Amino acid sequence: MLEKDSTDKDLILSFQKTQSNKTFEFIYDRYASFVYRKCLLMTDSKADAQDLTQEIWIKVYFALDNFRFESRYSTWLSRITINI
């Protein structure tokens, strides 16, 4: 059974297989502040950073099936954040 301390790879593979909201929640909890901090640095606005963070996580939810482990998950997530 997956837990919060499971590896990124285990969580992502599990999500890709099951589409479990609980599994996505583990991923979100692990990286939410990472995404928010990047957005805050780029916008210098808490409100804009919060809006962008929400938009990014919606994008990630629907794109996570396409993650192919060609890079670290944090690198992939950072690229999505910067692109949005």
Measured in Å, how far apart are the chain's first and last C-alpha atoms?
A: 33
pTM for the predicted model, two decimal places = 0.91
Our measurement of the distance from residue 61's CA atom to the centroid of its chain's CA atoms, rounded to an integer in Å, reads: 8
pLDDT in tens, 29-43: 999 999 999 999 999
Average the pLDDT over 55-61 and give the result. Answer: 98
Q: How far apart are CA 42 and CA 31, in angstroms?
A: 17
Structural domains of the chain, ranges and CATH numbers in brackets: 8-83 (1.10.1740.10)
Q: How far apart are CA 32 and CA 19, in angstroms?
A: 19
pLDDT band at 49 (very low <50, low <70, confident <90, very high): very high
Q: Looking at the chain, how many residues does it have?
A: 84
Q: How far apart are CA 45 and CA 43, in angstroms?
A: 5
